[in-house]
Structure 1
C-alpha cells in the first residue's frame, strides 16, 4: 500500500461508491433532488485539496506522501487543519455519498477512506514530520488540529 498515493485511493473509492450504488442496488435514502444540495460540498472539498497541493507547489516542497518532507508548511489552509488535502478528499467523498442517494454502502466507503487516511497516510506522515522538524512540528501540532 506504500505505493498507493492518496489521490489514486480517492478515485478508487469514488468508483467503488458508484459501483456499490448501481450494481448492488443499494437502497437510496435521499431523493427528490435533495441529494444535489451536496454538490457545493464536493466542490468545496476538491477546492480545499487543490489549495493545499497548490501551496506545496508554490513553496517548492515535496508533495509526495512517502517522500521526505522539505519544509514545514503552516500557512494558508494549513493554519487551521494539518491535512487540508485529506480533509478535502473526505468532504468530497461524503458529499458524493449523499449525491448518490445516501446509500449506506457509499457512506460506509467514505468512512473506510477516512479511517485509512487517518491511520495509514497521516500517521506515517506525522511520524516523518516529527523526525524531521522535531519541536517545531510539535508546536504546530499543539496549535493546529489534525482534521478540523
Structure 2
C-alpha cells in the first residue's frame, strides 16, 4: 500500500471547498431560525479543538505529526483513551459544523466521502505502521479503544 501524497489537512480544506461549491446547487434549507448557526458553530469549535488537542498530545509526547513518518511514542492518554484518531475525528466533526452552517443538504454528502478517504488512505496504513513499530502494546491499545468513537 502506498502512502497518500496529500496530507489530511489538505483533504480537509478540499472538503470545505467542495461543500462551499455544493452550497450553490439549488436546495431547500434544512433548518430555519438561528439553531443551525449555533449547532454549526459549536461543532466547528468542538472539532477544531479535538484536532488541536490531539496534535498537542503528539507534540507533548515528542512524536511526529506527519502521516506515515516514524512514530517515536505511543500516545494513549487524553482523547486517545476514547478514540484512536482524535485528529481525524475532529476534522469530521468540524466538517459537520460547516455543513450545518451552510444549511443545505448537499454539503452533507462530503462527510462520508471525507471519512472514507481518511480511513482508506491514512488510517489503515498508519495502523499497520503503529503495529509494526509498537507491537503488542499497540495491539492491546487497539483492542481497548475504538477507531473513531
TM-score normalized by the length of structure 1 = 0.93
Backbone CA RMSD of aligned residues: 1.3
CA distance in 2 between counterparts of 1:54 and 1:26 reads: 39
Select which of 94, 97, 104 maps to 2:96.
Answer: 94
Q: 1:82 aligns with which of 78, 84, 106?
A: 84
3-state SS of paired residue (1:27): coil
* Equivalent runs, 1:115-126 vs 2, <5 Å: 115-126=116-127
- Contact 1:20-1:26 within 8 A present in 2 as well: no
Greater than 2 Å deviation, 4+ residue runs: 24-28
Structure 2: gaps of 5 or more residues: none
Q: TM-score if structure 2 supplies the norm length?
A: 0.92
The number of residues matched between the two structures is 146
Question: In the alignment, does 2:19 pair up with 1:10?
Answer: no
Shift of 1:26: 3.8
Q: Deviations over 1:86-144 (max 9, x none)?
A: 0000011112111110x232111011111111222111110111111111100001111
Alignment correspondent of 1:132: 133
